Amino acid sequence: MDFSIISVYNDKRKLENFLERGLDQQEYRSFERIFIDNREGVYDSAAAALNAGATKASGDYYFFIHQDVKLPPSYLSKVRQHLNTIDDLGVAGAAGVRETGECSAEGVNVIHHGESQRKWERGMPILDPTEVDSLDELLLIVPNDVFNEEPFSPSLCPGWHLYGVEYSLRMKRLGKSVVVLPIDLWHQSDGGWRGISHDKTLLRLIQEYSECDCIHTTGGSWPATKKYGLWRVVENKVQSSLIRYFIISWSMHGLTRTIKKIVRKLIRR
């Protein structure tokens, strides 16, 4: 068995219409499906859920993929061809970023996303597997011997954000390749909302990977300093408290009075 396709889902219809439909059409058939049902919230992190799925896997490569990804029919056969050309692979993916300057990076690959299937705005077309600093979580391909030694980390990534970034940084630290494959696919999602849980995880990565000057992600590049990480967490808490205040005040005092009260709060800050 070449590939173990492992996906956590919370929407059965979306899984069937996207990931399963694409798998049904694959020309390359040496794969198994391992779907983790999280509709009841059994798992509180992607790392824990995907690690559980990997314990059931028997493929040479573990293929961690989102429920709303649609693979074209030739996808797995092209993946197989490209993997044979990569030395000392740590993790491969469909989209990532590579550093271009001081805390700046460019996106790599030509995936399509969103309901309109538009090209990824940060995409940089490539023709060959390309080394990057980190990968997006929509697709992560890991050799089974690597993953069995180095599973995802629920302690560093206790929610649903940045586990692909953390894994990429870990593979880099171990001297292994982190690459984007030059194969198009469609990811229905435009990306999730990045709130305080994202920023708390970002702070953990900053503390863990102190050798990095910057943490590069497909959502942006962040200075790898504890001060900056703490500032993002505090800023997010302030924003969350203002949102809650706005909703409560609007229901009690109306829109006009609420806006005036929030303006006065912001001025005082």
pLDDT in tens, the chain (269 residues): 899 999 999 999 999 999 999 999 999 999 999 999 999 999 999 999 999 999 999 999 999 999 999 999 999 999 999 999 999 999 999 999 999 988 889 999 889 999 899 988 888 889 999 999 999 999 999 999 999 999 999 999 999 999 999 999 999 999 999 999 999 999 999 776 667 788 889 889 988 998 998 999 998 888 887 545 444 444 544 455 555 555 555 555 577 776 665 556 544 54
pLDDT score recorded for residue 225: 73
| pLDDT digits 0-9 by tens, 244-259 | 555 555 555 577 776 6
CATH number of this structure's domain 3-193: 3.90.550.10
Residue 128 to residue 43: CA distance in whole angstroms: 36
| pLDDT digits 0-9 by tens, 53-76 | 999 999 999 999 999 999 999 999
Q: Is residue 99 within 8 Å of 133, Cβ to Cβ?
A: yes
H or E element, residue 203:
helix 196-208
Query: Phi and psi dihedrals of 38, rounded to 5?
Result: -120, 30
CB within 8 A of 81, min separation 6: which ones?
Answer: none
| pLDDT digits 0-9 by tens, 156-176 | 999 999 999 999 999 999 999
Length of the chain: 269
The burial of 182, by beta-carbon neighbours within 10 Å (0-12 exposed, 13-18 middle, 19 or more buried), is given as: middle
pLDDT score recorded for residue 216: 93
pLDDT score recorded for residue 17: 97
Distance set, CA 97 to CA 5, 237, 254, 262, 267 (Å) = 24, 28, 45, 38, 38
The pTM score is 0.85
Q: Which of 189, 182, 183 is nearest to 73 (CA)?
A: 183
Domain ranges for the chain, please list them. Answer: 3-193, 228-268
H or E element, residue 216:
strand 214-217
Write the DSSP symbol of residue 120.
P
Residue 118 to residue 152: CA distance in whole angstroms: 30
Cα dihedral 47, 176, 92, 41 in deg (nearest 10):
0
pLDDT score recorded for residue 222: 83
Write the DSSP symbol of residue 18.
I
- When computed from its CA atoms, the radius of gyration of the chain, rounded to whole angstroms, is 20
pLDDT score recorded for residue 147: 98
